[in-house]
Structure 1
Amino acid sequence: MAGWIYYLDLAGVVVFALSGVVLACRSSMDPFGMLVLAAATGIGGGTLRDLLLGVRPVFWINEPSYLWVILATVSLSLVGFRHIHRLSRGLLPVLDAFGLALFTVIGAHKALLLGHPNIVAVLMGLLTGVAGGMVRDILARRVPMVLRQEIYATASIAGGCTYAFLMLWASHPLAITLAITVTLTIRLSAIHWHLALPVFAWVTIPVAPRKQDRACEELRPDTTAQPRRQKARVRIIAPGKRTKHR
């Protein structure tokens, strides 16, 4: 791996590990819990990627510096514990977007380097970018962010497709730069303008009785008649809107 890609990978590990520390603090975990969540977020996606690609041993066994970076991140977070909540509100989502972009490109790059087709490269980029966060959220007993309305995995897929396509004819540095730019643009736009994907959900819509039905009900002597059954339909709920029952 080229030297500058290696350092970009380490930078992404620091950012993701820091997000694991923040979630551990919100979940009232002890220092060991912080270390576990930081490691799961920082190297979880890359570990799963290497296992699926058949790379033995996984990257952090050959390069223990990843483990030292995670340990240093957690140690510094313990020292500056009182300042972590400031990062979580403003700076951390932006840094997380940079980590997502870096990990997406690195995952796709490794798959192409091993001779796999473009679609596999896009999938490995997605896995490297989001799998660690999924493991982190599951350990903290939360629904993973990638499975909710957040435009997160979509940005990773777009960046991975950009990288795989540009590698067919463009130079390697240009492909990496444009892929990172695409991922960052989509993710940061979603953060700034609160963009989200639509949600599919079952919505029960009560149906008003027709005039003939109301007339028949007035003629019935039994006032304990069962109400009409409500129809359940599938609707797409736009982000930020609530369904009104009529």
Structure 2
Amino acid sequence: MSHWLHWIDLLGVAVFAISGTLMAYRKHMDGFGVIVLASVTAIGGGTLRDMILDLPVFWVQQPDFLYAILIAAMVTIFWLRITHKFPYQTLLVADALGIAFFNIMGMQKALDQGTGAFIAIVMGTMTGVFGGLIRDVICREIPLVLKGELYATTCIVGGILYVSALALGISDLPAMALGMLATLLLRLGAIRWHWQLPVFQGSH
């Protein structure tokens, strides 16, 4: 079980590193900037989660996460040099995959530490969205989490489904798959059809 979770975690880091590299390409950053942006996108949320939970920071304990970032960034750079196009939709899809993976993995780690379901959902949402928020702030973009389309809400819905499945006695992997799939599909639907929560506006 732990072996599979580790590979899922690595995949989430790699996907978020791809989204950070794509944004760095869009902003015409140099090689160092690419690695910095890919790294903060990939490990920012998980680092904050581990610090709040008073745990050893995951990438310090297991440097293979840093290798995954470097490999993902280099492969993305190579692909971009061949195509010479910035695929904005690919950035959004990579970001959606990243929040789906990291949301549930963050929740699972919190639950392993004995937190309640509510705190686990908060930790999962934070793990999923914080790296992308840092990426967008560094690039002087309006963070995706603050735009109208559903973003953090998708993590909350996926998290509720995950803890509900566990409460119903469903085993860990199917419950995780359900939560990840719900988060991903809801986010992809928001990208495609611009689903959003009502916007708070004052009277004119």
TM-score of Structure 1 vs Structure 2, range by shorter chain: over 0.9
2:11 is the counterpart of 1:5? no
Task: Write out aligned runs for 1:166-185 (5 A).
Answer: 166-168=165-167, 169-185=169-185
Give 1:85 deviation, angstroms.
6.3
Q: Does the CA contact (< 8 Å) of 2:80 and 2:86 recur in 1?
A: no
Q: Distance in 2 between the 1:171 and 1:87 partners?
A: 40
Aligned-residue RMSD, C-alpha: 1.8
Mapped partners of 2:111, 2:72: distance in 1: 30
CA offsets, 1:15-69, max 9 Å, x none?
11111111111112111111111000001000000000000x2000111001111
Q: Kindly report which structure 2 residues correspond to 1:1-246, keeping only aligned pairs within 5 A, or say none.
A: 2-55=2-55, 57-83=56-82, 88-168=87-167, 169-202=169-202, 233=203
TM-score by length of 2: 0.92
Q: Structure 1 62/24 Cα, relative in aligned 2: closer, same or farther at 3 Å?
A: same
SS of the aligned residue for 2:201 comes to strand
Q: Displacement of 1:194 after TM fit?
A: 2.1
Output the amino acid matched with 2:93.
Answer: V
Could you tell me how far 1:86 is from its partner in structure 2? 5.0
Which structure has the higher relative contact order (CA within 8 Å, separation 6+)? 2
* Distance in structure 1 (CA, Å) of the matches to 2:11 and 2:174: 20
* 1:17 aligned partner, one-letter code: A
2-structure distance, mates of 1:4, 1:32: 32
Q: Which runs of 5+ in 1 are unaligned?
A: 203-232, 235-246
Residue identity in the other structure for 1:19:
S
TM-score normalised by the chain length of structure 1:
0.77
Residue identity opposite 1:27 in structure 2: K
CA contact (8 A) 1:77 1:84 kept: no
Q: Is the 8 A contact 1:22 1:85 kept in 2?
A: no
Unaligned regions of 5+ residues in structure 2, if any? none
Q: Which has the higher helix share?
A: 2
Find the residue that maps to 2:200 and give its secondary structure. Answer: strand
Deviation per residue, 1:113-143 (Å, 9 max, x gap): 0101111100010011000000111111122
Deviation per residue, 1:182-209 (Å, 9 max, x gap): 112211211221222232234xxxxxxx
Indicate the larger mover: 71-80 or 127-136.
71-80
